[in-house]
Amino acid sequence: MARKAIPEVERLKVWVRAGGRCELCGTYLLEGRLTYQDFTLGELAHIVGQEASVKSPRGMDPLPKDERDLADNLMLLCRGEHNEIDRKGSLDVMTVERLRRIKRDREEWIRRLTALRPEAGTVVIRLIGQVRGQEVELTKPTAADAVIRSEERFPEFPLSLHGDGFEVDLRRFLHEETAGPTYWEQCKQQIDRVLEHKLGEALREDSVHHVSVFAFARLPLLVYFGSRLDDTFTVSIYQRHRSTESWCWPDLGEALTRFVTEAPPTQHPDVRDGVLLLNISGSIQAAELPEQLAGLPRWTIRPQGITPSVDVIKSASTLDEFTSVLRQLLSELEASHKDMQRLHVLAAVPVSAAVTLGRVHDANVHPTLVIYDRTDNRYTTALEIS
């Protein structure tokens, strides 16, 4: 018996909602991959089989028969994927629930993406390293999803041979856990190699106006990375949130955390070295300072009214507040301590704040930043930013 034809209006809904691509593998289904001629290569696949029969894949689901040919029960697939999900060996894996979830997530993503204006593009830059031998997931789809959800921008990855955008990969450099001078220098050179060459070329072509930054590495490298991002474009900085295990900034409505600056009790206008403690995600005590820093005037930035913790900066607005306070402090130091040459920075901060520190620092007017790293329960000099 011939299969019942799917109504044309339902077919159109499926094609539009799927964006003309296979909802499983993403293959574009309106063009041949060999000849590039216009073809309609997609097939409509039933999630719940068209017939309420054991011979119809997933057909024994209780979905009413008059709803089985509607767009909500259909997926746009390429021929290979369609054939595979309906094979007997796949039915226990490609269940009704799983296919519905894939369809929903894919179509919601396409709807958000196609609502974005072309000028709302952003170039994604990923810094991928290790911290004490540990890594986090920082893939291209992860970054793209965070950009779309958090800022409603269109993620672009146009600036590399394989379309992956900018990726600074530090994982191949050895001895990260002990992090000696050689390690810091190798990582700095790799950051410079990517940003100065690839990003510099894109800037010269005037093809970069907004950048979205995703980074995971040792704190001194995050600061250095931030310092190498040009001020000629706007930057959005992302971080992985432990509470949600996501790179997306939470929805608006998160309470704004404010920050306060604690200055030395007496003024030291002629001082040539000072100390900056950033107690945001944790607290660094005076007793932990290296001996050579113990007698220097010390400034501290900490959250107001709450204890420092890993989730203090949990919204983009709170990061903006931290940025503002940090800028104000550096401006005050530049105005009242013109002889200061070095600012020794010991920081307990999340990723976004570390990158922001590098971004805010102006080598033309601010003191050289001496960034410290905590290894074996003591702080040692990692690198300088001047």
Q: What Å distances lie between residue 304 and 127, 145, 277, 325, CA to CA? A: 30, 32, 15, 12
* Count of other CB atoms within 10 angstroms of residue 355: 30
Query: Which bin fits 121, alpha (ψ -120 to 50), beta or left (φ > 0)?
Result: beta
* Count of other CB atoms within 10 angstroms of residue 4: 11
Q: Where are the domains of the chain?
A: 8-114, 118-237, 259-385
Q: Look up the CATH number of domain 118-237.
A: 3.40.50
Is 183 in a helix, a strand, or coil? helix
Q: What is the pLDDT of residues 192-228, one digit of tens each?
A: 988 887 776 666 666 677 889 999 999 999 999 999 9
Q: What is the mean pLDDT of residues 341-353?
A: 97
The listed CATH number (1.10.3470, 2.60.200, 3.40.1360, 2.60.120) that belongs to domain 259-385: 3.40.1360
Q: What is the pLDDT of residues 256-315, one digit of tens each?
A: 899 999 999 887 778 999 999 999 999 999 999 999 999 999 999 999 999 999 989 989
> pTM for the complete prediction?
0.74
Same fold, 118-237 and 259-385: no
Q: What is the pLDDT of residues 310-324, one digit of tens each?
A: 989 989 999 999 999
Q: Side by side, which strands form the sheet with 259-262?
A: 259-262, 298-303, 273-279, 342-348, 368-375, 378-385
The pair phi, psi for residue 271, each rounded to 5°, is -70, 145
Q: What is the pLDDT of residues 40-68, one digit of tens each?
A: 899 999 999 999 999 999 999 999 999 99
Mean pLDDT of the chain: 89
- Rounded CA-CA distance 24/134 in Å is 31
